[in-house]
Structure 1
Amino acid sequence: MDSSSLKLIWANLLFLYLVTSPSSFSSSATAPLYYPANNVTLFGDASFGNNSIRLTQDHQCNTTSSSSSSQESASSSSSLSGIGTAFYINPIRFLDSSTKAIASFSCSFSFTISPSSPSCPFGDGLAFLITSNMNSLSITDGCMGLPEDVSSNQDSSYIAVEFDTSFNPFFDDINGNHVGVDVRKIKSFASVDVVSRGIDLKAGKEMTAWIEYRDSEKMIRVWVGYSHVRPLNPILVAQVDFSEQFKEFMHVGFSASNGGGSAIHSVSRWRFKTFWFRSSVLSMDTVEEGDCLMCFPGDFGQDLSHSRKWKFGLVLVLGGSAAITVILVAVAVYITLCCMRKSKSNAKRKRRSEDQIGRYQGNNEVPKHLSLTEIKEATKGFNEDRIIGEGASAVVYEGEIPSFGNVAVKRFIQEKSIGPSHNSFEHASQLPFYNEFTTMVGCLRHKNLVQLKGWCCERDELVLVYEYMPNGSLDKILHGCSSVTQFLTWERRLNIVLGVASALVYLHEECINQIIHRDVKTCNIMLDAEFNAKLGDFGLAEVYQRSPRTRDATILAGTMGYLAPEYVFSGVPTVKTDVYSFGVVVLEVASGKWPVDEDRIVITDWIWELFEKGKLLDAADPKLKRCFNRKVMERMLIVGLCCTHPDHLKRPTMREAARILQGEAPLPPLPPRKPTVRLQSVLPEGCEEIMGSGGEGLDDTPWSTPRTEFSRN
């Protein structure tokens, strides 16, 4: 084993012996929430009630009258129509008159359409509306309160996303259960049957809608789902240019009508924001406290204000420094022996790598063999301006390959060969390239794993080509400045955690061979254009046959703060070591804190302390500004604590953790205080003879475990 490997072992072992200095933690309270009565104006039948706006009310319907196929019959029942509208009290700027720049916008809200009587047909539906003239709204049924057509009026303009529950052929409706986009007239220029997408607007259930318009793309997208987590795929995507429709200031709100039917149309948790940039890389579904146009107290949890001082120290549960030294030396010797045994298998792994390369050489299947010329053309000769990431073993460049589009090119740092041989794989066993390649070309095809597109092994270059992730790694956004972190809304954070859980379930249970990632952390979680999580970097992954066998210790690898205590001592990775790392990621995403921050506060201990005091929700990231679901946040934090349980036997599997996060399984009980678990010594049989110590200085039952302590003020 080379000197660098020994240095790595001792560096990790030294961490266990570290005693840190006192530190402190504090966070500030957020400002009060908005009250709807202060910033929403109601018209017609609209009223406030039950933490929502009721746009329409119960009224006696005419069962013989329904939305007809002619404009005449629609107008004849106008006396039966109940119309309600709600607008944000202030107009919002959509056009910069000096630069002619057009705003993009993002909106989300929850809504319910409930029938008020089984004998009555449904009402017309409701619409999200942006209009230049509130006086142009319709007073007839069948229109959801929208103007039928304002094309001839240059002073009036509107766009609307309608949630239509009434079939009216005169308006070219596709059915009585659809979502459409209207521009200046009630006849939708784009619509979709939502029933075919698993959504029923007439089910009487609360739904959440997300609407996003990007002026840089001239594209509008609409998502609808039954939970507060945005679905992966929109139900409607349409190319449209709103630049001609937007005036400098527009009114934003909702409109609904009952027509010849009767239904209660309610809207709650309304959030809206405009954006003044042209980049299409970052998604705009962000929520800040100031974006909540209609938020009620209790929607986002309790006050986060607290200011306490903590003291932290890391010690070993052993008596005497002599015993600690003996244990550390023994661990080093044991891992050294295991590494010597493991080095014997490197030749087999090298042959496996070469076999995989031969299998894919000249093959049209993905991953594709690429020439070094193609790689250099894609990266402009590995231009430094194209570097998007750097690590200990590789540099990542943004590139473009005609057959793939934008890609991430991972160029491995190659040690120079000694002697006449220039075979790239002569030293590949010392690099993570062969490990990552042979892992990725196996069965790794999952929506939450970064996909390998191609590879290159030519001359002294070892390169893997991956799909490009526009939003980069999770850690850079989660721990970036507030202007960047704002894109990680509560809904997106939950979706990211669920995505990583799904990926790990796949690796642990659904692949042909079981794969242990060994390096689950936020910098290895990549985000696509829609902020969906994809786990990457399999340079440390271990692949195992599913037949039970004893696993050997490996060179201790990973990042401190994410490593399970039993793995630090034994060097033997298991699925439960991945579960531990995932738990740290969950706590990190929920709290916005590093696993070990600059004040040397360990996230698991800090959150356990809050749990013990019954103040678990105080751990929520202050940058969320209380815009989160309290019950789901509590569930996420408890799952994080369960996954980081010091006793690996009491941690859930990844499948169990995923089901709990999704609310499909009950929360497991946690002890009132963080448990301290002792781990059996990793000293191998006969180690006393190896060390020549005869076991002197060791306890008869050598147990050890790292633990942390907070001084309790």
Structure 2
Amino acid sequence: MSRQYTEPDDSFRHPKKQIYSYSDVLKITNNFNTIVGKGGFGVVYLGYIDDTPVAVKMLSPSAVHGYQQFQAEVTLLVRVHHKNLTSLVGYCNEANHKALIYEYMANGNLHEHLSGNYSKSKFLSWEDRLRIALDAASGLEYLQNGCKPPIIHRDVKSTNILLNEHFQAKLSDFGLSKIIPTDGGSHVSTVVAGTLGYLDPHYSISSRLTEKSDVYSFGVVLLEIITNQAVIARNQEKGHISERVNSWIAKGDIKGIVDSGLEGDFDINSAWKAVEIAMACVSLIPNERPMMSVVVVELKEALATELARTKNNSGVNSRYSVESVNVNLDTEFMPLAR
């Protein structure tokens, strides 16, 4: 397979990542033989590089703002490296053929498992859900605090949280991401973009994008993880998931909030902790939302509480030990009804 280190379009070159020709892409995907996903960007195909599976996302010529998103994603992914962000293997930028090549995530996305709309879907236990939430939060925390300047994802949602063969979660789809300017500002004024239901209401109204916009979106995802309910329920008076959860909080009924499919198999204090975190994240006042570093700490506490309940039954999962997540920092969140 030929490997090119010169880019046909000299105005767009990232030598730190492998550059593939279109003929390489055809070989990698076996002439686009297996489709594993579709989206506004284009079609995603299964491919192999030296027997290692990869996901190849081809830009559709009809994709609105597709090339700008392609550029944005490559530009961002060549400079970020974290276990909870999908890794870019390389890309193709040859004439009209644009492709992004990622590590393959064998277990699809979070939404597919919550909804059961996946051929290999697994019912997620409470521990599974907390681990996935912690993984996603850690990825976001890295974008906020591990990147200089910080990066705002701008499209955090359950379909953009991918799961590998070990059910480790990784954030994906950075085509809408924005870098916070280095001039000391805390926001970016930009055209509103994102997904209905996950979109920060303050950003939607003001066009002022901040790190707290991602915090809001993560809070919505966490509510999905907890409740396994639709983000927007069009046939209900309380249409948004946060409104529905808030009504259950007023009743002090945690079992009415948590996914009934779990059949009560969770630690109640752990569940309340997760709900408190989520509701703090979806505050309508951005300054009242926690930083993702705080969210990570609180989710570790929630996971440690659940592990303490289950450790005598099935042992401790190898990805995290009770000791590694058992932190005792004071919470920034106000207690909810219990």
Q: TM-score when scaled to structure 2? A: 0.83
Question: Deviation of residue 557 (structure 1)?
Answer: 0.8
- SS of 2:54's equivalent? strand
> 1:14-55 deviations in whole A, cap 9, x for unaligned?
xxxxxxxxxxxxxxxxxxxxxxxxxxxxxxxxxxxxxxxxxx
1:392-403 correspondence runs (5 A): 392-402=40-50
CA contact (8 A) 1:414 1:462 kept: no
Identity %: 35
Spell out the pairing of 1:675-694 with structure 2 (5 A cutoff).
none
Moved over 6 A (4+): none
Alignment of 1:162-201 (within 5 A): none
Decide which moves more: 596-605 or 570-579.
Answer: 596-605
Contact 1:642 1:670 in 2 (8 A): no
Cα deviation, residue 372, structure 1: 0.8
The Cα of 1:612 is off from its aligned counterpart by 1.2
Is the Cα contact below 8 Å between 1:486 and 1:623 reproduced in 2?
no
Letter in 1 for 2:232: V
Q: Select the structure that is richer in helix.
A: 2
The residue that corresponds to 1:368 in the other structure is 18
Corresponding position of 2:35: 387
- Matching residue of 1:3: none
CA offsets, 1:625-656, max 9 Å, x none? 22212211111111000000111111100001
Using the alignment, how far apart are the partners of 2:67 and 2:89 within structure 1?
A: 23
Return the alpha-carbon distance in structure 1 between the equivalents of residues 119 and 36 of structure 2: 20
Cα deviation for residue 382 of structure 1 reads 2.1
After TM superposition, the structure 1 = structure 2 runs for residues 573-652 of structure 1, keeping only pairs within 5 Å, are 573-597=209-233, 599-600=235-236, 601-652=239-290
Query: Do 2:42 and 2:59's aligned partners in 1 also have CA atoms closer than 8 Å?
Result: yes
CA contact (8 A) 1:554 1:571 kept: yes
Alignment-derived partner of residue 320 in structure 2:
none
Matches within 5 A, 1:51-90: none
Change (3 A) 1:482 1:512: closer
Q: What are the Cα deviations for residues 400-444 of structure 1, in whole angstroms up to 9, with x where unaligned?
A: 111x7100001111249xxxxxxxxxx9785310111111111x1
- 2:54 and 2:18 map into 1 onto residues whose CA distance is 13
SS in structure 2 opposite 1:399?
Answer: strand
Aligned-pair CA distance for 1:616: 3.0
Residue 510 of structure 1, aligned match among 139, 146, 150: 146
- One-letter amino acid matched to 2:68: L
Could you say if the C-alpha distance between residues 616 and 506 of structure 1 is closer, same or farther in structure 2, counting changes exceeding 3 Å?
Answer: same
Counterparts of 2:11 and 2:109, CA distance in 1: 32
* Match 1:561 to one of 191, 197, 214: 197
What's the CA shift for 1:587?
0.6
Larger Rg: 1
Letter of the 2:224 counterpart: E
Tell me which of the two structures has the higher relative contact order, counting C-alpha pairs closer than 8 angstroms and 6 or more residues apart: 1
Contact 2:254–2:271 (8 Å) recurs in 1: no
The match for 2:97 is: 461
Q: CA deviation at 1:579?
A: 0.2
> Could you tell me which amino acid in structure 2 is paired with residue 379 of structure 1?
T
What SS is found at the alignment partner of 1:556?
Answer: coil
CA contact (8 A) 1:588 1:595 kept: yes
* Aligned positions of 1:298-697 closer than 5 A: 357=13, 359-360=14-15, 365=16, 367-383=17-33, 386-402=34-50, 405-415=52-62, 431-442=68-79, 444-480=80-116, 486-549=122-185, 551-597=187-233, 599-600=235-236, 601-663=239-301, 664=327, 665-667=329-331, 668-669=333-334
Distance 1:528 1:658 in 2: 20
- 2-structure distance, mates of 1:484, 1:599: 30
Distance 1:556 1:399 in 2: 34
8 Å contact kept, 1:473–1:522: yes
- The number of residue pairs the alignment matches comes to 300
The aligned residue for residue 322 of structure 2 is: none
Q: Distance in 1 between matches of 2:121 and 2:260?
A: 11
RMSD (Å) for aligned C-alpha atoms: 2.3
Q: Distance in 1 between matches of 2:270 and 2:330?
A: 12
1:581 Cα shift?
0.3
What is the distance in 2 between the residues matched to 1:473 and 1:556? 25
CA deviation digits over 1:95-141, x for unaligned, max 9? xxxxxxxxxxxxxxxxxxxxxxxxxxxxxxxxxxxxxxxxxxxxxxx
Q: Matches of 2:260 and 2:211 in 1, distance apart?
A: 32
Letter matched to residue 501 of structure 1: A
Residues in 1 aligned to 2:243 and 2:36: alpha-carbon distance in whole angstroms = 33
CA 1:471–1:550: 2 relative to 1, 3 Å:
closer
Report if the CA contact (8 A) 1:399-1:408 is conserved. yes
Aligned mates of 2:77, 2:166 — CA distance in 1: 24
* Contact preservation (8 Å) 1:393, 1:431: no
Does the C-alpha gap of structure 1 residues 662 and 630 become closer, same or farther in structure 2, counting only changes over 3 Å?
Answer: same
Q: Secondary structure at the match of 1:455?
A: strand
Question: Residues of 2 paired with 1:445 and 1:495: CA distance?
Answer: 20
Contact 2:249 2:336 in 1 (8 A): no
- Report Cα offsets for 1:538-572 as digits up to 9, x if no partner: 00000124441374422211111101110110112
Instruction: Using structure 1 for the length normalisation, give the TM-score.
Output: 0.40
Distance 1:599 1:613 in 2: 22
1:432 maps to a residue whose letter is Q
Separation in 1, partners of 2:117, 2:174? 28
1:617 deviates by: 3.3
Q: How far apart are 1:614 and its partner, in Å?
A: 1.2
Structure 1 contact 607–616 (Cα < 8 Å) conserved: no
SS at match of 1:409: strand
Q: Which runs of 5+ in 2 are unaligned?
A: 1-8, 302-326
